[in-house]
Amino acid sequence: MVLARFILRGPSQAALVMASSALLAIILMPFSWISAAALILVVLHQDKEVAFRATAIASLAVLVMSWVIFGTPLLAIGYLLFLWLPAGLIAYVLRQSVSLILSLQLLTVLGLVIVTGLYLLFPSMGETWREAFELILKPALEQAGTQVDPVQLESLLQLFAHAVIGLLSIVMIFNILMALLIGRWWQAGLFNPGGLAREFNELRLGKVFASATALFLIANVLVDNDWVLGSMLLMVTMTLLQGTAIMHGIIAKKQLSRGWMFGFYVLLFLIPQVMVILAILGLLDAWVDIRKQISPGMNS
């Protein structure tokens, strides 16, 4: 929690972490989580003026560095519009409502807005990305000596073209989500140990969320539309978060050792099909409340 304490020393310190992490994220994307988490921690624990000052200083610093390195201010504009401002908004809602559930529901709505905006503003985005990937992949596969069926490759590229709007939205929302969890974890570690774990273990996004996810799943089967597909992918991603929270809650309720949690994530990494089970659990939990059906256990 040394970094968290440093961030809370003042707007200059927070801005330093925000700006330096933003620049490091060019090399390794997870640094963007730290950048936004610093702002989130300031919003959660200090007043709005400190958050505004930190954001202004960080934006100016990244703008100057972006101009010097790349000759354009787009990096700073991108961070401000697509990471810091939405992250600050979600953090402000969390501070006012003291509800992680409401914050994540708002984050889901924000994701749907992003999907809709990309779909309306850049209707040919998918085809542009498909052509770019085709130019890169085909020569790379030929140089590697990999034999790929042209029909299968074209089918995969077309699928990617249809899904690209949803995938970009998921990346943006996932970055904000990770930053929110890190910022809230820092705050809990400093002022309310175990607070985030309790909130996450009990997380339920609700029946309206589950019903909307089910509708998008059905609509995606019936309608061939990039907006529907993108929205469905976003909702399923948030459903996976719900399923992960269920597993955390079950492990905590059964008082199982940390090895079980480690094993769960290893299984999730090695067998991606587990995500399907998590998504189903996330949907069912809206009506069944799975964690209530689990009896408490002794520590093992």
Q: At what angle do helices 226-253 and 274-288 cross, to 10 degrees?
A: 80
214 and 172 within one domain: no
Q: Which domain holds residue 287?
A: 202-300
Out of 28-37, 153-162, 211-220, 250-259, pick the least confident.
Answer: 153-162
State how far the Cα of 35 lies from the Cα of 136, in Å rounded to an integer: 31
Q: Is the pLDDT of residue 299 over 60?
A: no
State how far the Cα of 176 lies from the Cα of 170, in Å rounded to an integer: 10
297 and 242 within one domain: yes
Question: What local confidence, expressed as pLDDT, does residue 300 receive?
Answer: 44
- Per DSSP, helices labelled H in the chain are 2-7, 11-24, 31-45, 48-70, 74-79, 85-97, 100-121, 125-144, 150-191, 195-201, 207-222, 226-253, 258-270, 274-288
- The phi, psi pair for 252, rounded to 5°, reads -70, -40
Pair 211, 237: CB distance under 8 Å: no
96 and 143 within one domain: yes
Q: Which of 167, 192, 217 is the last residue of a domain?
A: 192
Q: Tens digits of per-residue pLDDT, 124-143?
A: 888 887 777 777 766 766 66
The two three-digit tokens of residue 292, written as one number: 């209530």
Question: What local confidence, expressed as pLDDT, does residue 195 receive?
Answer: 87
Mean per-residue pLDDT over the chain, rounded: 90
284 and 139 within one domain: no
Mean predicted confidence (pLDDT) in 190-202: 90
220 and 177 within one domain: no
- The phi, psi pair for 248, rounded to 5°, reads -60, -45
> Which residues lie closer than 8 Å to 116 by C-beta, 6 or more apart?
227, 231
Question: What local confidence, expressed as pLDDT, does residue 142 receive?
Answer: 63
Residue, of 169 and 258, whose pLDDT is higher: 169
In the chain, % of residues over pLDDT 70 = 94
Q: Tens digits of per-residue pLDDT, 204-246?
A: 999 999 999 999 999 999 998 999 999 999 999 999 999 999 9
Q: Tens digits of per-residue pLDDT, 39-81?
A: 999 999 998 899 999 999 999 999 999 998 888 888 889 999 9
Where are any strands of DSSP class E within 157-288?
Answer: none
Question: What local confidence, expressed as pLDDT, does residue 298 receive?
Answer: 57
State how far the Cα of 241 lies from the Cα of 235, in Å rounded to an integer: 10
150 and 112 within one domain: yes
Q: Which of 192, 217, 240 is the last residue of a domain?
A: 192
Mean predicted confidence (pLDDT) in 17-42: 95
Pair 234, 279: CB distance under 8 Å: no
Question: What local confidence, expressed as pLDDT, does residue 138 receive?
Answer: 66
Question: What local confidence, expressed as pLDDT, does residue 207 receive?
Answer: 93
210 and 180 within one domain: no
Residue 71 lies in a domain: yes
Mean predicted confidence (pLDDT) in 119-124: 88
Residue of 69, 68, 5, 16 lying closest to 41 (CA atoms): 5
Residue 197 lies in a domain: no
245 and 139 within one domain: no
- Phi/psi zone of residue 204: left (φ > 0), alpha (ψ -120 to 50 degrees), beta? beta
The two three-digit tokens of residue 10, written as one number: 């003042």
State how far the Cα of 80 lies from the Cα of 89, in Å rounded to an integer: 12
104 and 2 within one domain: yes
206 and 129 within one domain: no
Residue 102 lies in a domain: yes
Q: Is the pLDDT of residue 122 over 70?
A: yes
Pair 288, 243: CB distance under 8 Å: no
Q: Which of 192, 214, 248 is the last residue of a domain?
A: 192
145 and 226 within one domain: no
The pTM (predicted TM-score) of the whole model is 0.91
133 and 17 within one domain: yes
State how far the Cα of 13 lies from the Cα of 60, in Å rounded to an integer: 14
Question: What local confidence, expressed as pLDDT, does residue 71 receive?
Answer: 85
By residue count, the chain amounts to: 300
Q: How many domains does the chain have?
A: 2
